[in-house]
Structure 1
Amino acid sequence: MIRILLADDQALVRGALAALLDLEADIEVVAQVGRGDEVVAAARSSAAQVCLLDIEMPGLTGLEAAERLRAELPEVRSLIVTTFGRPGYVRRALDAGAAGFVVKDTPARELADAVRRVHAGLRVVDPALATESLMSGPSPLTAREAEILLLALDGSTVAAIAARAHLSVGTVRNHLSAAIGKTGASTRAEAARLAQSNGWI
């Protein structure tokens, strides 16, 4: 039996995935959590072998949870299962240590097959997303530029972003200017939206 953990902040989605996967003779759902920061402890206590992670969760994102799993429980494999099929997310997920990336509208049989393949040590990436990810290339943003754009998403002022990032206003302006140039945007709000839609932040 392949022991799996489901991590998704929507109980309805978790329940539906559990019901579908429990129909498979060789897969058993041994744990479910609604927060990213509960993944490692739940994986450890349930002896899960594969963790299915949503990207957007409270506590930690699925990408951060995958990174923690790789560091603390390297024998546990992670598979990102998300609504957000953004090409930049695929690259970030694989960089974080995830063994696979599929979208939630993947047919149940294909999802079960992805779990089996990840458990067997293979990598699984939704083919359309893999192609799009290769075509779009890596994120042009530095880690600091991505962080600043993430803080700019809610429309915060430069001063507010500087305070939250513990940087000077001038440094934040420089990072925003560079990010605007790299994304081809005309404003920081547009740059943040473009970066988000590409999965770079």
Structure 2
Amino acid sequence: MTIPKDAITVVLAEDQGILRSSLAVMLGIEPDIRVLAAVSNGHEALRAVGQERPNVLVTDIEMPQLTGLDLAVRVKELYPATRVLILTTFARPGYLRRALDAGAVGYLLKDCPSTEMADAIRRVARGVRVVDPGLAADSWSADAGPLTEREREVLRRAGEGESTAELARTLRLAEGTIRNYLSEAISKLGAHNRTEAARLARAKGWL
């Protein structure tokens, strides 16, 4: 594929196949945007960014292996020339605040018009911050939440069904340490168990 010298290059990360294909087709229509890769999980996205070095990574928040927020942090550390645009269904100030703190330059909702998305990619590629206007005013007053980063990670994975033993293996921690993190998170959220704690934290945009 021949890429015009002034084209904006993009990697897409979206775990829903139909939406991923639709986004790739929609953006491919734009004369100045080229989609270099469209992938279905966080690890594939990070690998594609490393290989393609796009101007912009467009990523969902909730994806297998690495979330969009995890990706924003890793991309900022490893490939700072690539700007991150979060495209999500979550209209929650808590998520927006965490995304910006993680290094994302843009945050849009999936129901935005295609012309708005393409324009956002152009602006993000220039380093301009782009935030859904309905969320921008609320983001800075949003509660960042009581959880530490490690408690958030453990609770998120537990909420997705990983057992204590699996978490211990994945994170290379003792099972007792995992239980302590979960206990702290459950206590801070006033929940009865890890499932309820994960649901409450997710509703607030803290996971």
Q: Bin the TM-score by the shorter chain.
A: 0.7 to 0.9
Q: CA deviation at 1:25?
A: 2.3
> Stretches of 4+ moved more than 6 A in 1?
none
Q: Which runs of 5+ in 2 are unaligned?
A: 1-6
CA offsets per residue over residues 62-117 of structure 1, 9 Å max, x none?
Answer: 22222221122111111011123333221222222211111111111111111011
Q: CA deviation at 1:21?
A: 1.5
Q: CA deviation at 1:138?
A: 1.0
* Amino acid paired to 1:74: P
Whether 1:138 and 2:127 are equivalent positions in the alignment is: no
Report the secondary structure of 1:168's partner residue. helix
**What does residue 20 of structure 1 align with?**
26
**In structure 1, how many angstroms separate the alpha carbons of the residues matched to 2:31 and 2:167?**
53
Report the secondary structure of 1:57's partner residue. coil
Contact map agreement 1:52 1:79 (CA 8 A) in 2: yes
**In structure 1, how many angstroms separate the alpha carbons of the residues matched to 2:157 and 2:21?**
33
Contact map agreement 2:41 2:63 (CA 8 A) in 1: yes
Q: Which runs of 5+ in 1 are unaligned?
A: none
Residue identity (%):
49
Report the secondary structure of 2:134's partner residue. helix
Whether 1:11 and 2:29 are equivalent positions in the alignment is: no
Contact map agreement 1:161 1:172 (CA 8 A) in 2: no
Please point out which of 69, 73, 84 is paired with 2:79. Answer: 73
What pairs up with 1:10-159 in 2 under 5 angstroms?
10-153=16-159
Q: CA deviation at 1:3?
A: 1.0
Q: 1:186 to 1:11 in 2, by over 3 A?
A: closer
Contact map agreement 1:162 1:172 (CA 8 A) in 2: no
Report the secondary structure of 1:136's partner residue. coil
Contact map agreement 2:13 2:42 (CA 8 A) in 1: yes
**In structure 1, how many angstroms separate the alpha carbons of the residues matched to 2:156 and 2:34?**
37
Q: 1:52 to 1:190 in 2, by over 3 A?
A: same
**In structure 2, how many angstroms separate the alpha carbons of the residues matched to 1:139 and 1:187?**
18
**In structure 2, how many angstroms separate the alpha carbons of the residues matched to 1:122 and 1:87?**
19
**In structure 1, how many angstroms separate the alpha carbons of the residues matched to 2:167 and 2:48?**
36
Contact map agreement 2:158 2:167 (CA 8 A) in 1: no
| TM-score normalised by the chain length of structure 2 | 0.81
Q: 1:120 to 1:183 in 2, by over 3 A?
A: same
Deviates more, 1:97-106 or 1:42-51: 42-51
**In structure 1, how many angstroms separate the alpha carbons of the residues matched to 2:136 and 2:43?**
28
Q: 1:167 to 1:116 in 2, by over 3 A?
A: same
Report the secondary structure of 1:121's partner residue. coil
Aligned length: 198
**What does residue 179 of structure 2 align with?**
172
